[in-house]
Amino acid sequence: MNRLIVAISLMFALLGTATSQAQEYRYEVGPTLGVTGYLGDVNDGNMWSHPGITAGGIFRYIINSRWAVKGNLSYASISGNSNSIENKFPGDAHYDFKSSLVDLGGQVEFNFLHFGTGPRYKNYKKISPYMVAGLGAVMSSTSGNTNFSLALPLGVGVKYKLKERLNLGFEFTMRKEFGDKIDNLSDLYGVKHSFAKNTDWYSFGMFTVTYEFSKRCVKCHYVE
C-alpha cells in the first residue's frame, strides 16, 4: 500500500512538472478527413483493396510539448468482398458488405520531439512524429443491422506547426474491434471464435487541421 501511495504521488508530481512546462495554449480543435481500410472475415490481406472514407473532428488538451490527450468523433465507411481473397468458404459461398461506422474515442499522444514554438533554449520543434493509443467505442450499421462494441486504437502520426496557433497533421491508426460485427459477418467457416480472437480490424489514415485556443494564465513566471 505504501508503494502504491508513493507511485501515485510521483505520478502527480511529474504531471505537475509537465504542466509547468506546458505550451502557451491549452486546447486544440479541428476537422479530420481521410481514408479507411478493413481487415476481417472477407479480407485477410490488403486492407486497402476496398478503401472507404472517414470524416469528423478532434479535440485535444495540450498537457505540454510532449504529451496531449485527444478525443475524436468520426464517421467512416468500410466495405469488403470475398472475391478479393484467395480463401474459399464452405460451399464456395460468396460474401460482401458495406458498413457505416460512428467512432467515438479518447487517446493519449506522445510527441517524440518538443512540439511547439518558443525560446530557442527550450528546443521546440515545428514538426514532430508522435505515437497514440487509447480506447473507444464504435457503432456499425450494415443492411439495417446495428452493432456496438469497444475498439482499441493504436498508431503513429506527425504534426507540423504552420503558424503559432495553426497545426497540420497526418495520423494512421489501426483499430482493433472487440466484437467481430462491424462487417455483420461472423464465423463464416463454422468455427466459433473467442472474445479475444475475433477477426475485425479497421484503419484510419487521417489528415487534420487544428486551431489552438484558451491561452494559459502566466503570473510571476508561473504557468497555470
Query: pLDDT by residue for the chain (224 residues), tens digit each?
Result: 455 444 444 544 444 444 434 468 999 999 999 999 999 888 877 888 899 999 999 999 999 999 999 999 999 999 988 887 777 677 677 788 999 999 999 999 999 999 998 877 889 999 999 999 999 999 999 988 999 999 999 999 999 999 999 999 999 999 999 888 888 787 666 566 655 566 789 999 999 999 999 998 766 455 54
CATH of the domain at 183: 2.40.160.20
Sign of the Cα pseudo-torsion (21, 25, 27, 28, in order)? negative
Please tell me the total count of domains within the chain. 1
Domain span at residue 64 reads: 2-223
- What pLDDT is attached to residue 85? 74
pTM: 0.82
- What pLDDT is attached to residue 193? 61
- What pLDDT is attached to residue 103? 98
**Cα–Cα–Cα angle for 180, 186, 192, rounded to 5 degrees:** 95
